[in-house]
Amino acid sequence: MKNYVIIEDEPLAAEKIANLVKRLRSDWILLKIIPSVKMATKELKSLNPDLIFLDVHLGDGNSFQIFQKLEINVPVIFTTAFDNYALKAFEINSVDYLLKPIANTDLEKALNKLEKTQHMEETFHSNWDKLIQDLRPSYKERFMVSSGKKIKSLNTNEIAFFFAQGKHTFITDKEGKEYLIDKTLTALADCLNPKDFFHINRQYIISFTCIHEMLYYSKGRLKLETQPKTPTEAIVSGEKAGKFKLWLEGE
């Protein structure tokens, strides 16, 4: 039995990890879900977990800041949508580096590795290039869409944004044409390259290339002006604004 914490600022992502762990290790105890760097540096010592699940980008900064403020002596499993921190992650007490969306099999392998490894140094072998290549997910590159009686293949680099309206989801391409698709925004967020698309709120997933202008909005939110224009205001929610700014910088 192990006590663990999840450091993750997206409630749905944290809940998914917790549910996966419960399914795979029913006797493990979740001590707490921590949503920020600030709270993690304040609470980790008193919680004293056996294991940490850690997202890289949190709302108030990069989670590597935690290791600059605290001495972490317990294993860490990274859970993130970005692959460019893998090398840095393995410089610390990291068991594995799991890319979202996290599959049951990937988490099971990470937990098995944790349980079988007596000395963490044994997990840090030198073939980093192969390791990172193995970690890279396969993102969706095109969608089949209907236009009248015609069916066409739409590459992701032609897409401006995805938006939900009622029970329906649409793609808008860079020419402003709309296509109805049979996927939810949540499902789309899991299969799109996070370097190119950002799930700004419950209604929109925005392509980086369609952002024309950004304006400060109320309560820490951001308003996006896109080309082509979104059907309704594209507002980056306050809880995602910090991570969105890091995404714009390519972090």
Report whether pLDDT(136) > 80: no
Tens-place pLDDT, residues 18-51:
999 999 999 999 999 999 999 999 999 899 999 9
Q: What is the structure's pLDDT at 62?
A: 84
Domains and CATH numbers, the chain: 3-135 (3.40.50.2300), 142-248 (2.40.50.1020)
Nearest to 50 by CA among 4, 88, 7, 98: 4
Q: What is the structure's pLDDT at 127?
A: 45
Q: What is the structure's pLDDT at 126?
A: 38
Could you give the CA distance from residue 218 to residue 161 in angstroms, rounded to a whole number?
23
> Residue 226 corresponds to which amino acid?
T
Report whether pLDDT(131) > 60: no
Report whether pLDDT(120) > 60: no
Q: What is the structure's pLDDT at 122?
A: 46
What mean pLDDT is predicted for residues 97-106? 86
Q: Model-level pTM?
A: 0.53
What mean pLDDT is predicted for residues 221-231? 95
Task: Tally the C-alpha atoms within 13 A of residue 233's C-alpha that lie toward its C-beta.
Answer: 10
Q: Edge-to-edge, what's the strand order for the sheet holding 94-99?
A: 29-34, 3-7, 51-54, 76-80, 94-99
- The set of residues, in sequence order, having a beta carbon less than 8 Å from that of 250 and lying 6+ positions away, is 195
Q: What is the structure's pLDDT at 81?
A: 79
Greater confidence (91 vs 79) lies with 79
SS (H, E, C) 101-133: CCCHHHHHHHHHHHHHCCCHHHHCCCCHHHHHH
Report whether pLDDT(60) > 90: no
pLDDT, averaged across the chain: 85
Least confidently predicted of 78-92, 112-126, 172-186 = 112-126
Greater confidence (68 vs 197) lies with 197
